[in-house]
Amino acid sequence: MAWETGGKNRLIIYTSILVVLAVLPYLMPSGYWLRIYGITGIYVMLSLGLNVVAGFAGLLDLAYVAFFGIGGYTFALLSSAQFNIHLPFLLVLPLAAVVTMGFGFALGATSIRLRGDYLAIVTLAFAQIFKLMLINLDQPVDITGGVNGIYGFDAINILGVRIVSPEAYAYLIWFSALVVIVGCLRLKNSRYGRGWNAIREDELAARVLGVNATLMKLKAFAGGAFIAGGTGALFASFQDSVFPNNFDFQQLVIIYCMVILGGLGNIPGIVLGAVLLSVLPEFLREYGAYRMMSYGLILILLMALRPQGLLGSIGILTKAKKRPDKDETGVLKASTDLYYEGAPETTSNGAGKKKFSKGRRVVLALKSVAMKFGGVTAVINLDFNLFEREILSIIGPNGAGKSTVFNLISGIYKPIEGSITYNGSEISGLKPHQVLKAGIARTFQNLRLFNKMTVLDNAKVGQFHGTRSGPLSILFHLPRYKREEAESDRHAREILELFGKRLTGYRLDQEAMFLSYANRRRLEIARAISTNARVLMLDEPSAGMNPQETSEITQFIKELRDVYGYTILLIEHKLNLVRTISDRVIVLDYGRKIAEGSYEAVANNEQVIEAYLGRKAR
C-alpha cells in the first residue's frame, strides 16, 4: 500500500511540522506579531471550513460567516457572566460546533435545493439577518449585548492547564488548525470527498451513479458549519470578546479570498492562501484604508496569472508521469498507430467463453408510459419488456424520444402516465440514486464524466452507494473505513481492467478530461459497471468512434452479456452494431413504438424504412 511505503517520509514531515509549530511562537518579534500568528491559525481553520462547502461541494454559501458568529456567541453565552453560565471549555467547544452544525442543517434543509445565485441570495440574507439580530437582541431582554457585544470570558482550562498567555493560545489554535487540516485531508480522499467532487463536477451524473446529492450537499453545509462553529468559539476566547462587527460581510469576503487564492478544494493551497492574506496586509497597515484594497488587487492579479489557485498544477507538486502514448520528443502517437501495434487489447481473458444468453424472466417492464414537456409529447403509450440478460436496442430518428425513455427509467423524469417496474416493483417516481441502487445504471449520449477527477476516482464514485462509512469512520480511519476503501479501490481497478490497458497503468491517475474521446466513452461504461448494477443502459456508446473502435466496443458490449451476464438496453445509430448484438430491436418515432422484433424483421418493416433507415442504409 502507498501509505506504508511512504510511512517513513510521512513521519519526517509530521515531525518537522510539529517542531516548526512548537518553535514559531517564540520567534515572533513582538506580542503584536504573536497575535497575528494566532489570528492566522483562526483564518486557516475558517477557510478550510468554507472549503468543505464551497470547494468540495461547490455550494456558494454566503451564510458561512454567520456560522462563525453562532459558534462565537454560543461560547460567549455559555462561558461568561452574561447569564452566569460557566461551562468548562472542553464541553463548550464541541457544544458550539454542534449547535452551529444544527443551524447549518436547518438552513441547508430549507435552501439546499436552490442552485448557484439563488442559494447565494438566500444564504446572504441569513447572514444579514443574523447580524441584525446580534445588534438588536439587547432588549427587551439582553441576550447578545447589542453593538457592545459580550466580553470577559472564563479563562480556558484544559484538564488543569490554564490557557491565558498568548503563547498558550498560539499552541491551542495551531493544534486545532492541525486537527482541521488532517480532518479535511482525510475527508477529501474518502467516499465523501469523491461524492462531493462528483456533485460539483456534474450533479446529474453523480445522481445517476448513486450519490444522494441532496443529502451530501446538506452534509457539506453542516460540515462547514461545524468547523466554523468550533473556530468561532476559539476566536471568541482568543479575543476575549465578541462583537457583531466580527461577523460581518467584509469578514466573509476575506475568507472567500483566501479559499479562492488557494484554489477551491486544494487544501495546502488554501492553508497558504490563508497565511498569505493574514500576514501580507499587516505590512501595509500604515496605509490605512488602502490596506483593504490589497485584497482586491491580489485577487485580480491571481485570477489573471493563476486562475486555478496558488498551488494548482505546479510542476514540482505533481509527479511527472510516463506517457507511453508519446514518443521521446513528446509528440503524441496516433491512436491508430497504437491500435495497430500488436493484438487487440480490449478483449479480456474471458473472451470467447459464452456463458449467458437471453433469459425468459422479465426484468424491466414499461406499461403505457407517457411523458410531455410543455405541450410537446415526447413519449406516448409506450410498452415494452426487457428480459433477463437480453440485449435490447432502441433505434429511431433524432428526437423520437429514445433518450427520454432512458431519463424516465433512470428517474431523471417522472412519467405523467403509466408504470415502470423493475423485478416486479414500481420504480417510476424513485430518485435517480434510488433507481441506481435498485440495480439499473446508465451512460449519457453526450459524455458526462467527472472531468477533473482521475480515471480511478471516476470509477470509485460508482461504489459510493454501496459503501457506508460515515464521518467518524473517515475522520478517525476506523477499520470499517479502511476495509471499504481497499475494497472500492480493488473493485474499481478490476472493472477498469476489463478494457485491457486502455484505462489502467499511468492512466489511472490521469484526469478524465485528458483521455481520448474513445477512452472517455469507455470510462463512462466502466463507471456504470462499477456500480454493481445488473442492468446497463448505454446511450450511443459508439458515437464519435471510428470503424475499428466501433467494432471493438461492439465486441465488448456483447461480452458484457455473454461472459458477465449483464442485461443491456442500448440506444444506437450505427446499424452494424445494432445488427451484430441485439436480441431484439424496438423502433421509436415521434414518441411511439412503431416496430419491435428481431433486427431483420424490423429492418424490413416499411414504416421503419420510411421513418428511419431510408433507402440507402440497409
Residues 6+ apart with CB under 8 A from 193: 56, 187
Angstrom distance (rounded) from CA 287 to CA 395: 70
**Which are the contacts of 308, defined by CB distance < 8 A and separation ≥ 6?**
263
User: Is residue 591 at the binding interface for another protein, with CB under 8 A as the rule?
Assistant: no
Of 443, 398, 441, 397, nearest in space to 542 by CA: 443
State in angstroms the smallest separation of the CB of 610 from another protein: 8
Nearer to another protein, 434 or 580 (CB): 580
Question: Is there binding between residue 517 and another protein (CB under 8 A)?
Answer: yes
Q: Take residue 136 and report the three cell numbers written for it.
A: 438588536
**The one among 241, 530, 550, 567 contacting another protein by CB under 8 A:** 550
Instruction: Tell me which stretch binds another protein (CB under 8 A): 84-92, 147-155, 559-567, 574-582.
Output: 574-582
Of positions 516, 532, 558, 597, contacts another protein by CB under 8 A: 516
Q: Does 546 bind another protein (CB under 8 A)?
A: yes
**Smallest separation (angstroms) from another protein to the CB of 13:** 32
532 lines the binding site for another protein (CB under 8 A): no
Q: Shortest gap between Cβ of 29 and another protein (angstroms)?
A: 43
Eight-state DSSP code of residue 334: P
Q: Which cell numbers in the block locate residue 418?
A: 403509466
Q: Cβ of residue 129: shortest distance to another protein, in angstroms?
A: 36
Q: Does 305 bind another protein (CB under 8 A)?
A: no
Residue choice 121, 421, 543, 558 for contact with another protein (CB under 8 A): 543
The nearest distance, CB 514 to another protein, in angstroms, is 11
Min. distance of Cβ 320 from another protein in angstroms? 15
Give the nearest distance from C-beta 453 to another protein in angstroms: 21
371 binds another protein (CB under 8 A): no
Given candidates 202, 457, 540, 552, which one binds another protein under the rule CB under 8 A?
A: 540
> Cβ of 406: how many Cβ atoms within 10 Å?
23
Burial of 84-95, coded b for 16+ CB within 10 Å and e otherwise, reads eeeeebeebbeb
Contact 401, 372 (CB under 8 A): no
Residue 335 engages another protein in binding (rule: CB under 8 A)? yes
Decide: is 252 part of the binding site for another protein (CB under 8 A).
no
Which of residues 57, 222, 553, 611 is near another protein by CB under 8 A? Answer: 611
For residues 553 and 570, give the distance between their C-alpha atoms in angstroms, rounded to a whole number. Answer: 13
CB of 608 to another protein, least distance (A): 10
Q: Does 110 bind another protein (CB under 8 A)?
A: no
Measured in Å, how far apart are the chain's first and last C-alpha atoms?
54
Residue 445 touching another protein (CB under 8 A) = yes
- Residue of 63, 405, 449, 518 interacting with another protein (CB under 8 A): 518
The nearer residue to another protein, 101 or 395, going by C-beta atoms, is 395
Residue with cell 506517457: 323
Listed residue (102, 402, 345) closest to 223, CA to CA: 102
334: contact with another protein by CB under 8 A: yes
Task: Report if residue 323 touches another protein, rule: CB under 8 A.
Answer: no
Q: What count of Cα atoms within 13 Å lies in the side-chain half-sphere of residue 61?
A: 36
Q: Which stretch binds another protein (CB under 8 A): 24-32, 152-160, 392-400, 524-532?
A: 392-400
Compute the distance between CA of residue 458 and CA of residue 504 in angstroms, rounded to an integer.
Answer: 13
Instruction: Please state, as a whole number, how many other Cβ atoms lie within 10 Å of the Cβ of residue 397.
Output: 15
Closest CA to 528 of 448, 593, 467, 604: 448
CA distance 357 to 578: 16
How far apart (Å, rounded) are the C-alpha atoms in residues 130 and 133?
5
- Scanning 24-32, 134-142, 309-317, 325-333 for contacts with another protein by CB under 8 A, the matching segment is 325-333
Q: Which residue has the cell 439499473?
A: 440
Q: Give min distance, CB of 339 to another protein, in A.
A: 9
Cross-strand pairs, 242 = 150
416 within 8 A of 372, measured Cβ to Cβ? yes
Q: Which stretch binds another protein (CB under 8 A): 231-239, 308-316, 379-387, 568-576?
A: 568-576
Q: Binding of another protein at residue 510 (CB under 8 A)?
A: no
Among 1, 289, 305, 331, contact with another protein (rule: CB under 8 A)? 331
- Which residues pair with residue 593 across a beta bridge? 588
Q: Does 336 bind another protein (CB under 8 A)?
A: yes
Closest CA to 52 of 277, 255, 302: 255
Comparing CA positions, the residue from 466, 536, 524 lying closest to residue 210 is 466
Stretch that binds another protein, among 121-129, 408-416, 462-470, 541-549 (CB under 8 A): 541-549
457 binds another protein (CB under 8 A): no
- SS3 category, 159: coil
Least Cα distance to 356 among 598, 597, 556, 567 occurs for: 567
Q: Rule CB under 8 A: say whether 333 interacts with another protein.
A: yes
- Interface residue with another protein among 6, 116, 344, 544 (CB under 8 A) is 544
Looking at residues 393 to 412 of the shown chain, list those that interact with another protein (rule: CB under 8 A): 395-399
Nearer to another protein, 574 or 584 (CB): 574
> CB of 455: closest distance to another protein in angstroms?
17
Least Å from the CB of residue 572 to another protein: 10
Angle between helices 191-201 and 479-497 (to 10 degrees): 50
Q: Is residue 429 at the binding interface for another protein, with CB under 8 A as the rule?
A: no
Where does this chain touch another protein (CB under 8 A) — which range of 8-16, 164-172, 424-432, 543-551? 543-551
With H, G, I as helix, E, B as strand and everything else as coil, classify residue 568.
strand
Count of residues engaged in binding another protein, rule: CB under 8 A: 40
Contact window for another protein (CB under 8 A) among 62-70, 162-170, 244-252, 330-338? 330-338
Q: What is the 3-state secondary structure (H, E, C) of 37-90?
A: HHHHHHHHHHHHHHHHHHHHCCCCCCCHHHHHHHHHHHHHHHEECCCCEECCHH
> How far is it, in rounded angstroms, from Cα 353 to Cα 481?
37
Q: How far is the CB of 507 from another protein (least distance, A)?
A: 14
Residue 233 phi/psi, 5-degree rounding, is -65, -45
Stretch that binds another protein, among 1-9, 269-277, 495-503, 542-550 (CB under 8 A): 542-550
Q: Least Å distance between CB 611 and another protein? A: 7
- CA gap 42, 19 in Å, rounded: 20
Q: Please give the residue ranges that form the binding site for another protein (CB under 8 A).
A: 331-337, 376, 395-399, 445-446, 516-518, 540, 543-551, 573-576, 590, 611-617
